[in-house]
Amino acid sequence: MDFAGLVRSIDWNFLEGTVARVLAVLLCLTVHETCHGMAAYALGDPTARDRHRLSLNPLRHIDWLGLAMMLAVGFGWAKPVPVDPRYFKKPKQGMALTALAGPVSNLLLALLAVFLSRELYARGAWMPMGIRVSLFQFLLYTLAPLSIGLGLFNLLPIPPLDGSKVLGAFLPDRAYFGWMRYERYGMFLLLALSWFGVTGDLISGAILGGYRFLFELFF
């Protein structure tokens, strides 16, 4: 096969979709982790800043195995932002707010993606059609649902997900520290639940509902 034949054999639609998904995952994870660090810093913890994690450079946040898992099965992780609750005036509440910042940032990113796609649809005639269509599809069909999914998934109250730390703010101290002892086992539980499709069943309806709400809000 000559080079021209090789080029013709490439499934360009599949390649474009794969690149778009990788970019969306990198953006979602980077925004998520950066906002954890920014929230902690705003509450008095300089640890993330001192370790250069208040950055939109995805290389500072990406765990390559976690990225591969997210692309392959829809469940993955990034490098956790270091947080030292001793800097917080109220450690449990500080941890909850820091944890909540990640999922909230993803939901806001999804809101922004749908809004920008609407603007492209309504006012993007000045753009070359190919670029306009690709960007519209990326924002509305790739970035928005991925960002909603990451935000809602992390709100599940299963250690080490952010939702477990939010829940912890409402527990008595004894129950909170007992709950956090199981954090080391939470990843195995999540992997098992994902393998059997339980987590997907739990949040797929919520993702669809959130996506439909944003779509109807702007379109």
Q: Which among 16, 33, 119, 216 is annotated as catalytic? A: 33
pTM score: 0.88
Give how far the C-alpha of residue 71 lies from the chain's centroid of Cα atoms, to the nearest Å.
12
Tokens of 205: 């309806």
pLDDT computed for residue 201 by the predictor: 67
Tokens of 215: 């779509």
For 93-105, the pLDDT digits (tens) are 999 999 999 999 9
For 130-181, the pLDDT digits (tens) are 889 999 999 999 999 999 999 998 998 888 889 989 998 888 888 777 777 7
* Residue spans of alpha helices (H) in 86-158: 91-123, 129-137, 144-154
Q: Tell me the pLDDT band of 36, cut-offs 50, 70 and 90.
A: very high
Instruction: Evaluate whether 210 touches 153 at the Cβ level (below 8 Å).
Output: no
- CA gap 153, 158 in Å, rounded: 10
With 0-12 / 13-18 / 19 or more C-beta atoms within 10 angstroms meaning exposed / middle / buried, residue 126 is exposed
- CA gap 143, 212 in Å, rounded: 14
The total of structural domains in the chain comes to: 1
For 45-85, the pLDDT digits (tens) are 999 999 999 999 999 999 998 888 777 776 678 899 999 99
Q: What is the percent of the chain where pLDDT is above 90?
A: 52
pLDDT computed for residue 198 by the predictor: 63
Better-predicted residue by pLDDT, 84 or 202: 84
- The verdict on whether 183 is a catalytic residue reads no
Residue-range definition of the domain harbouring residue 123? 3-218
